[in-house]
């Protein structure tokens, strides 16, 4: 019999539509501890996590992924084994009217988060072995699919909006 060890996982953007589904899955179907990292912008809604928010394996941290100091603190506090990065500015229409927010959050925020993870996991005192960083993107980085077909790992990037360009860049 295989013993599955529970891990501590960060889920960024965990109050969003997909992030909250990921957190509900992790808490309902695994033994992992989950730290929801979200700055609760227009896309975040903690009500979507009401059914799991009282779990002793769930924590919420209102932290912006662009804030290196706060990220450092929570990496030090929780010592996560992995990060599932779903936080992002989203919605194509919003990216057209205010593209700088998308670049700052989706590109700079992702780099800030990656750097915090690297600094934490490469610290000589870190006991984390084989940490994982999963970055969730969008199919929109590949452009328009058309009425049939599919994208593959070999499909060239062809973003058509500031949103998809920022996700391709990250």
Please give the positions annotated as active site.
139-140, 163
C-alpha 163/C-alpha 168 separation (Å) is: 9
Start-to-end Cα distance in the chain: 40
C-alpha 35/C-alpha 9 separation (Å) is: 6
| Contact between 113 and 83 (Cβ < 8 Å) | yes
In the sheet that holds 33-37, the strands lie side by side as 58-61, 33-37, 8-12, 82-85, 132-135
């Amino acid at each position: 019999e295989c013993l599955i060890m529970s891990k501590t996982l960060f889920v960024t953007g965990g109050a969003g539509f997909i992030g909250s589904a990921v957190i509900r899955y992790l808490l309902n179907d695994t033994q992992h501890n989950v730290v929801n990292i979200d700055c609760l912008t227009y896309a975040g809604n903690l009500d979507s996590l009401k059914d799991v928010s009282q779990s002793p394996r769930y924590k919420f941290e209102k932290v912006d992924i662009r804030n290196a100091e706060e990220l450092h603190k929570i990496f030090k506090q929780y010592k996560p084994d992995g990060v599932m990065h779903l936080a992002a500015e989203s919605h194509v229409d919003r990216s057209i009217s205010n593209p700088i927010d998308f670049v700052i959050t989706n590109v700079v925020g992702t780099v800030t988060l990656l750097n915090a993870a690297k600094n934490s996991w490469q610290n000589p005192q870190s006991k984390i072995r084989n940490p994982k960083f999963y970055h969730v993107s969008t199919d929109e980085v590949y452009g328009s699919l058309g009425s049939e077909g599919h994208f593959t790992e070999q499909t060239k990037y062809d973003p058509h909006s500031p949103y998809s360009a920022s996700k391709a860049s990250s």
